[in-house]
Amino acid sequence: MEARRRVAIYVRVSTRVGNGQRLLQQFREVRRMVERRGWTIVRVYRDRASAKQGAHRPEWERLRKDASRRRFDAVAVWAIDRMGRSVLDVLKAAEGFERRGVELLIVKQKVDTTTPLGKLLLTILAAFAQMERELTSERTREGIAARRAKGLPVGRVAILVPRAHIDAVLREEKSAAQVSRETGISVSTIRARVRAAKKEGSPPCKRPLTLDSEKGSNEDH
């Protein structure tokens, strides 16, 4: 009787808020496929990180080390882009698993490296995934160029701190924390605007005249 394969599941989502549910959905889909095959789940690796180059994915690195120690017979992931962002990243990982006798199952694209067709499909799908990312980046660059051509702002919109509040901090009438509570703008942003005003050599505006200040002026005369 053939021994049941030991499988490790890897799931990953980005760091954006609200991705916990997506992480759970990925796991359920992969687990369903693994159980259908009669494999035994020995460990689940979960990352909350981008797949971009240089991003820290501790669980992915731990999985690869465990694969080199043959702590499981197969790796199951939800989709090809969970493994990496480039053809090289994906194929390098797949080849590393193959050298150690670890199989790869990609549920969404129905890739199974136990077959020659599965290996060929992996290479083709990885190429298409990279092409789609490059097309998306190109469309983004074109959109930015179009906005610049129209004189529209590009990137993050700067948070404006009313000049009166900056002046109040410069005159030491208020602290950055007080202005933050009044305006809802972060303390770091307010301090940055105050530093910019000091660097520009822009003096604080004089306080506007009030009835009390006018009265005091008249009494002096």
Q: What is the DSSP string of the chain?
A: -PPPPEEEEEEEE-SSTT-HHHHHHHHHHHHHHHHHTT-EEEEEEEEES--STT---HHHHHHHHHHHTTS-SEEEES-GGGT-SSHHHHHHHHHHHHHTT-EEEETTTTEETTSHHHHHHHHHHHHHHHHHHHHHHHHHHHHHHHHHHTT---SSPPPP--HHHHHHHHTTSS-HHHHHHHH---HHHHHHHHHHHHHHT-PPPPPPP-HHHHHHHHHH-
Give the residue numbers annotated as catalytic, written as ranges.
Answer: 14
Beta bridge partners of 103: 74
